[in-house]
Amino acid sequence: MKQLGMVFCLFTFVWVGVAAASQDSSETAAQQATELIAKADAAFDRWSQPFDFSSYQERLETAVSLWEKALPLIDDTTTRSHVLNRLAQAYFELGEAYLISGAEREEAYGKGKDYALASLQLDPLFGEIEQRDGFRAALYSASDVVAIFWYGNALGMWLNYHIFTAIVGGGVRDVLACYERAIELDETYLGAAPHRSMAALIAQAYYVVGKSRHDSVFHYERAIEIDPAYLESYVNYAEHYAGPVGDETLRDELLTTAMNLAQDPQIMATWPLYNELAIRRARTMLR
């Protein structure tokens, strides 16, 4: 009996030691994740330091690498959602701003949509509704505007490389659902990004989503009304609507407005990456 008691004490001691080691390991992983995320967020930040378009690519790639290293170490849903959403945005931005080859861009947009979808799937209700009523119904019920928006944006660009999925597979309709839901949740997100993206979708794929090209005007005008410092709204409006419908006066007015606003350093600094991209496009269109 005495020996049995000694064995029990030894087992208890070992179990407590293992539990303590496991807790220490979890705390260490959490601390590592916190440090990696802080470094990634700092590299991604384009507002608290002077922005240089050329050198920002390296910072964006560094942020992606650090977030991906942190991901397996994260336990809590809130932090995981933040990292997944950042990765979705960063991969989209790499594709838009820096990657050149079609294969590289397709891969980046694919990763972006997958990370955003993983963020949406953190909500158990999303999976329940998807299983019961379908994917689009789950999108309309989702509440994370960041994940919804970046899923729509990344999916939309990825579909350029997968036309069958875009049209026959309903991919474009999924993108439309993302923007409709994002507008419902927060039309002001990222300088009225849901309206701006909705406008671009309608202007370019109106025949697929069952709308008139002219329906895009409301969303372009609303985006400019919400945030007149987001220069991409003017340039998209000029390129995807005014030009195709043959309204050269409107096209020139929009591009001139964007170029004039770009003379103000404060406006350029409001949305450094996207304003720079917009002005580069505007200069090309004005040649």
What's the rounded mean pLDDT across residues 191-211? 97
Q: Does residue 38 have a pLDDT over 70?
A: yes
The residue among 118, 150, 181 that closes a domain is: 181
Residues 227, 243 within the same domain? yes
Q: How far is CA 50 from CA 43, 61, 267, 270, 272, in A?
A: 12, 18, 14, 12, 9
For residue 285, the model assigns a pLDDT of 95
Residues 140, 209 within the same domain? no
Q: Does residue 259 have a pLDDT over 50?
A: yes
- 133: Cβ contacts below 8 Å, ≥ 6 apart: none
Query: Are 217 and 174 spatial neighbours (Cβ–Cβ below 8 Å)?
Result: no
- 34: Cβ contacts below 8 Å, ≥ 6 apart: none
Q: pLDDT category, 214, cuts 50, 70, 90?
A: very high
Residues 170, 74 within the same domain? yes
Residues 171, 266 within the same domain? no
The residue among 124, 157, 181 that closes a domain is: 181
pLDDT tens per residue across span 91-113: 999 999 999 999 999 999 999 99
C-alpha–C-alpha distance, residues 221 and 226, integer Å: 9
Residues 209, 113 within the same domain? no
For residue 113, the model assigns a pLDDT of 98
Classify residue 280: in a domain, yes or no: yes
For residue 1, the model assigns a pLDDT of 53
Residues 236, 137 within the same domain? no
Residues 157, 84 within the same domain? yes
Amino acid at 19: A
Report the domain count for the chain: 2
Q: Does residue 258 have a pLDDT over 70?
A: yes
For residue 23, the model assigns a pLDDT of 58
Structural tokens at position 78: 């809130």
- Domain holding 205, by residue range, is 187-287
Residues 71, 176 within the same domain? yes
C-alpha–C-alpha distance, residues 62 and 76, integer Å: 23
- Residue 199, sorted as left (phi over 0), alpha (psi -120 to 50) or beta, turns out to be alpha
CATH code, 211: 1.25.40.920
Classify residue 31: in a domain, yes or no: no
What's the rounded mean pLDDT across residues 216-240? 98
Three-state secondary structure call for residue 48 = coil
Residues 215, 171 within the same domain? no
Query: Are 219 and 196 spatial neighbours (Cβ–Cβ below 8 Å)?
Result: yes
For residue 14, the model assigns a pLDDT of 46
Residues 158, 208 within the same domain? no
The residue among 181, 211, 227 that closes a domain is: 181
What's the rounded mean pLDDT across residues 182-186? 98
For tokens 């370019």, what's the residue? 204
Determine if the pTM surpasses 0.95: no
